[in-house]
Amino acid sequence: MKKILVICLPVLLFIACNSGNKDLAEVVEIETAPVLVKEYGYILNDYNIVRDTIRPGDTFGDILDAHGVSQDKIFKVATKFRDSFDVRKMVVGKPYVLLNSKDSLNSTQVFIYENNKVDYSVVDFRDEMTSYTGERPVTYVEKSAGGIIESSLSQTMEDQELSPYMTDRLSNIYAWTVNFFHLQKGDRFKVIYTEKYINDSIPAGLGEIKAAYFEHRGTPLYAFNYETKLDSTSVMDFYDENADNLRRAFLKAPVKFSRISSRYNLNRRIAYYGYKLRPHKGTDFAAPLGTPILATADGTVIKSEYRGGNGNYVKIRHNSTYDTQYLHMKKRNVRVGDYVRQGDVIGWIGMTGNTGGPHVCYRFWKNGKQVDPFKQDLPMSKPLDEQYKEEYLSYMTPLKAQLDCIEY
């Protein structure tokens, strides 16, 4: 059932007074101004409000047709306003609001779709139809947290009542320096971050991570989010306490939050094959079917095909020294000649070719020879430009002191 909200009416206050005559009662009417309720840039008092959510089977046309909006207007929204509001991308469960006229027609004047807690899309049917996007006012509150890993990073985050997105953010920051498939009990982290709030009270999700500390296998790793200018654009990246970029030329692994099921091993012998020597020149990362496979570095796709025991696979040439290959994909997402950036999704975990379970076999070439990527001294990205270093150290120093004071 649709929910209709009617904004407040004047309040009547009745006061009975005695003025020497007990039978005489004076009625005083005091009219108070209604409280103006403003949301999405509209004064809601001026409308009848309908709030609901997108339900399975709902379409934009069905919703608006049920409220008397003409087919011509619905068609115009669906075809001409896709930049600001694409009716094909409405998601089940997302809220929407109708602002209807306060008259006998109760006709829909405005349609508002909430893309998330902050961003919304508006279609205004009055006069010349318009469509635009807006966002609720957001405040950012700085917070800090720390934890010691007992089982997994995500479980530790849950125990600390931190956003589940924090795990993904930290894995992205340390993707080049920490193998998140082999975190150890006792590894620990600290983080300074912001949380978003609407109207200073409604949580709206994780903001930015300003600084982080991760101790893995006893090695401390600091990370500070810092902005530099590149021509006319700003670039945010993470640097350590020495102003070195945390990025390396290659990611540690092509899959997030997986496990190594088989390592690079030139002396491998398998019982099924009579213990004959069958070298394994790749590293297998087991993960559920459909898990995204990521390019571990920038490069050009030189092979994207299905072949024998490899199944669906992709091979990327990164430069004159390094190539990488990704086997057994369920489906490929790139073609020969495509240029991919580090972290781009190039396919999805599958079981094509010779494989006993869902995984990606990651192969790594250096100077034309297959090698173990975990035993390579892979190049790092360039450190912070010298012109920013003094300013960065001034920015970083108090954040480092703040991190050091956070308790686990």
Domains and CATH numbers, the chain: 3-135 (3.10.450.350), 139-239 (3.10.450.350), 259-375 (2.70.70.10)
Q: Supply the pLDDT for residue 75.
A: 93
Asked if the model's pLDDT at residue 11 lies above 50, the reply is: no
- What pLDDT does 35 receive? 83
Indicate the pLDDT class of residue 267, thresholds 50, 70 and 90: low
How far apart, in whole angstroms, are the C-alpha atoms of residue 33 and residue 40?
22
Residue 20 has pLDDT above 60, yes or no: no
Of 47, 38, 36, 53, nearest to 107 (Cα)? 47
* pLDDT single digits (tens) 86-144: 999 999 999 999 999 999 999 999 999 999 989 999 999 998 899 999 999 899 999 99
Span 340-368, pLDDT tens digits: 988 899 999 999 998 888 999 999 998 89
| pLDDT > 70? residue 250 | yes
Mean pLDDT of 223-234: 82
d(CA 51, CA 42): 15
Span 44-62, pLDDT tens digits: 999 999 999 999 999 999 9
pTM (whole model) above 0.95: no
Q: What is the pLDDT of residue 72?
A: 93
For residue 305 the two structure tokens come to 């095909």
* Nearest of 119, 100, 88 to residue 52 by alpha carbon: 100
pLDDT digits 0-9 by tens, 153-176: 888 888 888 888 898 889 888 877
Average pLDDT over residues 242-263: 81
C-alpha torsion sign, points 326, 328, 329, 332: positive
> Which CA distances in Å does 176 have to 241, 257, 375?
16, 14, 14
Token pair 């103006």 in the structure block, residue: 36
Q: Which two tokens mark 287? A: 């993960």
What does the pLDDT look like over 281-326, one tens digit per residue? Answer: 888 998 999 999 999 988 899 999 999 989 999 999 988 888 999 9
Distances (CA, A) of 188 to 151, 157, 211, 239: 11, 11, 14, 19
Q: Rounded mean pLDDT of the chain? A: 85
Between CA 371 and CA 369 the distance in angstroms is 6
Find the radius of gyration of the CA atoms of the chain: 30
Average pLDDT over residues 21-31: 54
Spacing of C-alpha 378 from chain mean position: 28
Cβ atoms within 10 Å, residue 267: 8
